[in-house]
Amino acid sequence: MPSSKNKTRINEELRGKEFRVISPTGEMLGVLSKIAALRKAEEYGLDLVEISPNANPPVCKIIDFGKYQYEQAKKDKMQRKNQQQQQLKELRFKPGTEKHDFDFKTKHARGFLESGNKVKASVMFRGREITHKEYGRELLERFVKELEDVSKVDVDIKMEGRNMMVLLSPIKPNKK
């Protein structure tokens, strides 16, 4: 029976003539032939499961395969859970953004950065506003200065079409 790349081989599916065998209690039984290892597993009434196929000789453990699968699934789930997904949050300003709106958006940006997300702040120029790019630059420089204690600049202030943007990333994301 051909096994897929990530499928764990057990009992008769094992390839090789000799295996380093570990008992259910974790005791090393030594290097045994395939037949002797299978007999040992039969004595315990459990399965011979390949733990480390790339070792020389391959390492097998005598355990209940169902329990082993459950433990592996649980461990994989915990690893996925502990991986932090970093998202990009975008805040949009206009050249004439007032102080209250600016403070409100800065407060939200601080929250995003403290929770470990990147923040992209952009100033959208509409119509003739594009002739006064300095207002947008001043706004973004003030934004970066307000958040310099919780962030560092990834991409410096630059123009992209009719938008001026800056990208900030968190200095130390908090584990939540």
In this prediction the pTM is 0.54
The answer to whether residue 151 sits within a structural domain is yes
The answer to whether residue 102 sits within a structural domain is yes
Domain tally for the chain?
Answer: 2
Residues 117 and 149 in one domain: yes
The answer to whether residue 5 sits within a structural domain is no
Structural domain of 93: 88-170
Residues 115 and 161 in one domain: yes
Q: How far apart are CA 8 and CA 40, in angstroms?
A: 19
Q: How far apart are CA 26 and CA 130, in angstroms?
A: 71
Q: What is the CATH number of the domain that holds 66?
A: 3.10.20.80
The answer to whether residue 41 sits within a structural domain is yes
Calculate the alpha carbon distances from 13 to 16, 34, 42, 53 in Å. Answer: 10, 11, 15, 12
Chunked mean pLDDT (size 10), the chain, 176 residues: 62 87 90 90 90 88 91 89 82 93 95 92 92 92 93 92 94 59
The answer to whether residue 58 sits within a structural domain is yes
